[in-house]
Amino acid sequence: MISIKRIGKRMLMSLLFLGALTTTYEAISGVEAEDVVHWYTHDYSNSSESSDQDNEDNDDTFRFLGLTFKSMKSEPTVGTQISSSVEASNRNVSLEDAFDWSKYPAKKVVATGYTAGVESTGKKPDHPSYGITYSGVKVKRDLYSTVAADINVFPIGTILFIPEYGYGVVADIGGAIKGNRLDLYYETVEDVYNNWGKKQLDVYVIKMGDGTLTEEQLERLNNDESMQVFRQKYLKNKTKS
């Protein structure tokens, strides 16, 4: 007759094997290992008719298994895989689709493109205020770009979301930019013609400005950690073009 000790040893090995399988299943399905241990404990306690000493041995066995599960769960691979998949999915989403823009006030505008060059501003690169906007900040094409507006409609510092362009921060004015008109900054004339031209569209007012804008504020917007996935996507596409 097989001794109780031998039965206990075989049961321990079986449970260790099941524990390894359970941990693997947890990594795939998200089911907690502790739930599986609890199920085994409950099932075994209902069917066990062994002595008090055997019960103590079984308690030790399950305590050992609990520690084994915790050790297995400390491996970082599952978390890394989940994080990577979330980041990858964000990379495949455009700004237009990433947020619910309908919760922001919409304004229909006519938007054109401009550069810092002589064709738009009459200034050459050697001009002392070349590339300097009305607000005092330098023109910038980034995740948050500088745009020109009628400051009676959109005060300096107003943040807009402009579909197919991105975020625009009102930093400049223009002689022809009156009423519901915008001028969107691009680095070259070719970019203006190839990427924009002239469009009538709804823009979304994220935040109304207070009449001021600094380089620090613009940099802080572009360096917002939560938006870097979208910024890196923009910079990558910019490099390709």
pLDDT for residue 16: 65
Burial group, residue 114, by CB count within 10 angstroms (0-12, 13-18, 19+): buried
pLDDT for residue 236: 85
pLDDT for residue 92: 75
pTM: 0.63
Tens of each residue's pLDDT in the chain, 241 residues: 456 666 766 776 677 666 655 555 454 444 444 544 444 444 444 444 444 555 555 455 445 444 444 444 443 333 333 233 344 345 678 899 999 999 999 999 999 999 999 999 999 999 999 999 999 999 999 999 999 999 999 999 999 999 999 999 999 999 999 999 999 999 999 999 999 999 999 999 999 999 999 999 999 999 999 999 999 988 887 777 6
Q: Answer for the pair 23, 9: CB distance below 8 angstroms, yes or no.
A: no
pLDDT for residue 188: 96
pLDDT for residue 235: 87
